[in-house]
Structure 1
Amino acid sequence: MKLSGGCNCGQVRYELDGEPIRVGICHCETCRKSSGSAFSYFGIWPRASATLSGELGCWQARAGGERFCPACGSPLFCWAEGADEIEVKLGTLDSPPSALVPAYELWTIRREPWLAHQKGAEQHTRDREKPDG
């Protein structure tokens, strides 16, 4: 699988090579504010499978940085310096991300009551437990 995407103005572009490690939705306050919506929809890829071009701005949030286009403000990625993974905001893909179905939801304690949970997706009241504990 090869996917591409970018920001609204086209200054920042990216390509992703291969399948995501996981796909999720987050309802936390930081994700709501950075997405401007009721939740954030994202995919996690190995950092090495992402090719990025263009200048990025960074706002420090969570354990890493939220990367965005400084020209148009589009939020695009999250990663911590030295991390092996990159979180990609799936709404920034060039093609509709219909095949990328969320396997889990985070911070469901903050999910809007009018928004149904994703059937078949793991439900986490807050953050997801790391696989190794």
Structure 2
Amino acid sequence: MPVEAIRTGGCLCGAVRYEVRGEPYQSGLCHCKTCRKITGSAFSATGNWHRWQFQMSGEISTFDKRSFCPACGSRLFFLFDDGVEVFLGTLDEAPYAISPMVEVWNIRREPWLAPVVGAVLHEGNEIASGKDEG
């Protein structure tokens, strides 16, 4: 019987900790304006798990449903009704063996950044949960 993957993560200061069990049902890169702003990078790398696969401890603050540590400011995850979208850079162990399944907002991808081989490409936000306007 295969062993279920358990990944842990948290914020920079350690005040917020979380655990995700199993594999994400979706993973990807997003090149939209919002993800650029919240990560301070050219894209975000995220994985989505069902809410029952996710546990956390510590106090979080939120802005527009995006959760972060109020002590150190680390952006952690986006909570929604039945799931959680985790910023993969907050996982404890890298590499974390989660390849992007999709890339969204490719119309905004930097020209120096090649598409991920094997990922399904979307010009805009066709598959996401309505959390971004581009």
TM-score (ref. length: structure 1): 0.90
CA distance in 2, matches of 1:111, 1:121: 14
Question: 1:113, CA displacement in angstroms?
Answer: 0.6
Percent pairwise identity: 52
- Counterpart residue number, 2:90: 92
Question: 1:98, CA displacement in angstroms?
Answer: 3.9
Question: 1:97, CA displacement in angstroms?
Answer: 3.7
- Counterpart residue number, 2:69: 69
CA distance in 2, matches of 1:90, 1:53: 18
- Counterpart residue number, 2:34: 30
Q: What's the secondary structure of 1:16's corresponding residue? A: strand
**Unmatched runs of 5 consecutive residues or more in structure 1:** none
CA distance in 2, matches of 1:126, 1:39: 13
Question: 1:89, CA displacement in angstroms?
Answer: 0.4
Question: 1:129, CA displacement in angstroms?
Answer: 3.3
Question: 1:127, CA displacement in angstroms?
Answer: 0.8
| Contact 1:32–1:40 (CA under 8 A) maintained in structure 2 | yes
CA distance in 2, matches of 1:55, 1:122: 35
Measured on the aligned residues, the alpha-carbon RMSD in Å equals 1.1
1:7 lines up with 2:11 in the alignment: yes
Match of 1:19 among 23, 26, 31: 23
Partner deviation per Cα, 1:99-122 (whole Å, 9 max, x = no partner): 100011010011001100101111
1:52 lines up with 2:77 in the alignment: no
CA distance in 2, matches of 1:69, 1:77: 10
- Runs of 4+ deviating beyond 6 Å: none
Match of 2:118 among 110, 120, 125: 120
